[in-house]
Amino acid sequence: MQTARLAKERLDDLVRLLRERGYRVLGPRVRAGAVMLDEIDSAADLPRGVKSAQEPGSYRLVDSADGRYFDFVNGPESLKRLLFAPEETLWTVTDGEVRFNEAAAEAPPTAVIGARACDIAGMRVQDRTFLAGQYSSHTDPYYAARREKLFLVAVNCTRSAGTCFCASMGTGPRVREAFDLALTELDDCFLVEAGSAAGENVAKQLPLVNAPASDRAAADRAIEGAAKSQVRRLDSDGIYELLFNNLEHPRWDDVASRCLSCANCVMVCPTCFCHKEHDETGLDGAQSAHKRQWDACFTLGHGSVHGARLRPQIRQRYRQWLTHKVASWIPQFGVSGCVGCGRCITWCPTGIDLTEEVAAIRATPGLRG
């Protein structure tokens, strides 16, 4: 399918078509002062004319008069919650009978409008963790069931937040894979591309017209402008050797003096997959539920084995997170665990910036605390 043009006032046709095809349609909505993914009934539910101002430790929404639908860049949520549930029951035991949870297989087909390139890159990283392949010998059935039923309407970013650095990670701001439809928002229309057979089928029912070359050029300029406007970058060249040769660098103590160990960075990260499992037993002792729940390497409990704490100091836990995220993830999964979305910077209460931490070590290698 060639890039086509969809008039802005017809965006609601896309929402309606997806709903008619049986999808639960999620899109960005303003909730609790942030843009979150939530169920939408029509395009009117989208946060039109809303921008986000993001800096380290700071996020606020700003009303604008331009009427654009997707200028807010991103919020605290990625696609992670929709595929890797924050908490779910894996099996139950009732009067000695074990029953495995089959609910994930019955999860409704879900369409997400507004996924960004960094979100999809994060999903592709998690695919390597949860789906059997070169990097995993096991498929997680809960993740796989939701992944199979996911229809993605991506949005190319034409604006970057102050904390974005996807351009330096090669993951954005243009989405390049694993989408069904991709939109680029211009002043008076969307440019539409199909990325899958399912996307082609939906596109055929939309009131599209061929996009003139001027529209395609405008879209390219806008996406390129978003990339060039990014003021942060992560230099990944030789990063494994850099970090593992500097495990005693004094910068780890410096960042520990600012880190609250709150795990906000992990919760908003689209690729972090640490979790724990525990049993909840009924008061009558006749039933229990075995649950999986998101966890974080920033917690003391996550590094506890047989009563001993492997990483009792914050410096050790931050070092574990950063060295895994941007360095040892690469030999483990073939890609960096960081997609450059910048959420960990925006949502850190003290504004810790991992690009700054890596740059500080790179500037003074060999120091020891």
Pairing of strands 50-55, 287-294: unpaired
Q: pLDDT tens for residues 231-244?
A: 999 999 999 999 99
pLDDT per residue as tens digits for the range 323-348:
999 999 999 999 999 999 999 999 99
**Which residue in the block uniquely carries the two structure tokens 């990670």?**
169
Residue 101 pLDDT: 84
Number of domains in the chain: 2
Cβ atoms of 339 and 166 closer than 8 Å = yes
> Both 243 and 164 in a single domain?
no
Q: Which residue has the tokens 């000695």?
A: 96
Same-domain check for residues 211 and 358:
no
> 143 and 260, same structural domain?
no
Amino acid at 356: E
212 and 94 part of one domain: yes
Residue 276 lies in a domain: yes
Q: Which pLDDT score, from 0 to 100, does residue 105 have?
A: 65
190 lies in the same domain as 308: no
* Opening angle at CA 147, ends 142 and 149, nearest 5: 105
199/263 same-domain check: no
Check residue 140 and give its pLDDT: 94
According to the model, what pLDDT value does residue 284 have? 87
User: CA-CA distance, 212 to 4, in Å (whole number)?
Assistant: 8
Answer yes or no: do 154 and 250 share one domain: no
8 Å CB contact between 184 and 190: yes
Q: Are residues 247 and 176 in the same domain?
A: no
| pTM of the model as a whole | 0.95
Residues 263 and 180 in one domain: no
Shared-domain flag, residues 23 and 108: yes
Q: Could you say which residues of the chain have pLDDT below 70?
A: 104-105
Among the candidates 178, 208, 229, a domain finishes at: 229
Identify the domain boundary among 180, 198, 229: 229
Task: Give pLDDT, residue 104.
Answer: 67
Residue 234 lies in a domain: no
Q: Does 214 share its domain with 252?
A: no
How many other C-beta atoms lie within 10 A of the C-beta of residue 250? 15
Domain extent for 289: 239-364
